[in-house]
Amino acid sequence: MKTNRISFFLIALVVMSCMQKNENSGPQYGVAPAFIELPVYSFAIHPLHNPNKLIQSYQPLINYLNAHVSGYRFTLEASRDYSVFEEKYKAGKPDFLLPNPWQTLQAINCGYSVIAMAGDPDDFKGIFIVRNDGDIQTPSDLKGKSISYPSPTALAACIMPQYYLYCSGIDVVNDIENHYVGSQESSIMNVFLRRTAVGATWPPPWRAFQIDHPREAAELRVIWETEPLINNSVMVRHDIPQELKQQVQKLLLELCNTDQGKTILNGMETARFSMATNQDYDVVREYVARFEREVSKIEVK
């Protein structure tokens, strides 16, 4: 009798084990969704500001794209200086770019296409910053003195100011000392610190400098400005999915229509994004050709 009870118990264990195995062999359901890793695309901005300030200004735009573009994710990419940024797009690394107009021409040759213009054309001009207590009054006063620029490839903050001086009778190669200091803010700070007599920049960084460094800005002023040209571009690499390109372009063009979008634009010192193509930047090609023909070759490091 005892043996029969043990046998019955063992048979019951086997049956229960089989039933449990069958129950676990089907699909498993849970309340938590499976994690889906989205493809990540980089958005590289040319050095309008130092890296920390640039991230502060442009991260809200990246957050907005991440919230409104389906199926993809974006990361913001800052660069230490102009040469580092230019090395990146020449190697075709960033997926999206916001370069200056001169860099736009270079990036076109590296497989990128324009999908928008950032800001108003009238805001894209060179300005000259001097100290209030300085002795600079006219361009001729610059002979023998030094000027700071972010980079030799900064169109509004170097090429256009140098062309302005050339048209004012200054030999920019021999009459002045040219210092390329890496960023817009550094160009302005060099004047404040009396390292250069004049600093070349353009309106958005100067407005940002006045907000971030009011004490230093109070000792400086704009003395001259150039004629305006076309503004910065937004570009996409040729192999980016057409669907993604169209989503980003649409969101950028519509930013100025909402309160949230206007706040993002204000933080970037950008009035709006407008429709643009590669052909819109032919005016820059003509300007640069005239500059190199009449003034000097642009220094590309």
pLDDT at 156: 95
| Same fold flag, 40-120+230-294 and 127-225 | yes
pLDDT at 70: 87
pLDDT at 28 over 80: no
Report the CATH number of the 40-120+230-294 domain. Answer: 3.40.190.10
- Please state the pTM of the whole predicted model: 0.80
* pLDDT tens-digit readout, 183-218: 899 999 999 999 999 999 999 999 999 999 999 999
Domain boundaries in the chain? 40-120+230-294, 127-225
- Decide which of 38 and 291 is more confident: 291
Q: What's the mean pLDDT in 97-106? A: 95
* pLDDT tens-digit readout, 232-241: 999 999 999 9
CATH architecture of 127-225: 3-Layer(aba) Sandwich (3.40)
pLDDT at 221: 98
pLDDT at 158: 97
Comparing 20-29, 52-61, 225-234, 238-247, the range with the smallest average pLDDT is 20-29
Q: What's the mean pLDDT in 59-63? A: 97
Q: Concatenated DSSP letters for the chain? A: -HHHHHHHHHHHHHHHHHHHHHHHSS----SSPPP-PPPEEEEEE--SS-HHHHHHHHHHHHHHHHHHSTT-EEEEE--SSHHHHHHHHHTT--SEEE--HHHHHHHHTTTEEEEEEES-GGG---EEEEETTS---SGGGGTT-EEEES-TT-IIIIIHHHHHHHHTT--TTTTSEEEE-SSHHHHHHHHHTTSSSEEEE-HHHHHHHHHH-HHHHTTEEEEEEPPP---EEEEEETTS-HHHHHHHHHHHHHGGGSHHHHHHHHHTT---EE---GGGGHHHHHHHHHHHHHT------
pLDDT at 2 over 50: no
pLDDT at 247 over 80: yes
